[in-house]
């Protein structure tokens, strides 16, 4: 038997911006909790013995900065927005363990429309 794949990847946006920077960012000093969220997520997964089958990944900007802090759960393209520790707890319990995405924390549909496939972009120029 081979080494099992992770069941989930959780991409947590860790993009920060200097104080006074005009664009919002997921990790910023106006929201002190935002600085702790990745560590909190990893710690919770570790406590439950889920690290390995759930792989938390620090990532740069996921391009939904105005709704931050955000994290993307794969598979499934589940984008969670406005995160705090309480929401992370619920997402781990409901989505990661029980398999039910937490609808009320997901990004509103108008910010997360259907993707444009690369083949459609490449082929439109032909």
- List of residues contacting ligand FES (CB under 6 A): 13, 15, 25-26, 61-65, 68, 70
**Least distance (Å) from ligand FES to the CB of residue 74?**
15
CA atoms lying within 13 Å on the CB side of residue 33 = 11
| Alpha carbon distance 11, 94 (integer Å) | 17
Residue closer to ligand FES (CB basis): 13 or 50: 13
Nearer to ligand FES, 50 or 91 (CB): 91
Strand 78-80 versus strand 8-13 pairing type: unpaired
Please, what is the minimum distance in Å from the beta carbon of residue 107 to ligand FES?
11
Any alpha helices (H) in the chain, and if so which ranges?
A: 32-47, 85-90, 118-124
**Complex with ligand FES: residue 10 or 26, whichever CB lies closer:** 26
Q: Residues for the chain: how many in total?
A: 126
The residue (of 25 and 88) whose beta carbon lies closer to ligand FES is: 25
Measured from the CB of residue 43, what is the shortest distance to ligand FES in angstroms?
Answer: 21
Measured distance CA(54)–CA(8) in Å, rounded? 5
């Amino acid at each position: 038997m081979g080494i099992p794949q992770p069941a989930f990847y959780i991409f947590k946006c860790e993009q920060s911006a200097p104080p006074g920077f005009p664009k919002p960012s997921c990790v910023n000093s106006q929201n002190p909790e935002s600085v702790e969220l990745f560590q909190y997520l990893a710690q919770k997964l570790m406590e439950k013995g889920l690290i390995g089958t759930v792989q938390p990944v620090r990532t740069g900007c996921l391009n939904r900065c105005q709704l931050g802090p955000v994290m993307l759960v794969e598979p499934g393209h589940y984008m969670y927005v406005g995160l705090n520790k309480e929401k992370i707890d619920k997402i781990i319990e409901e989505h990661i363990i029980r398999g039910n995405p937490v609808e009320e924390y997901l990004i509103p549909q108008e910010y997360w429309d259907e993707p444009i496939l690369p083949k459609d972009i490449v082929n439109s120029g032909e």
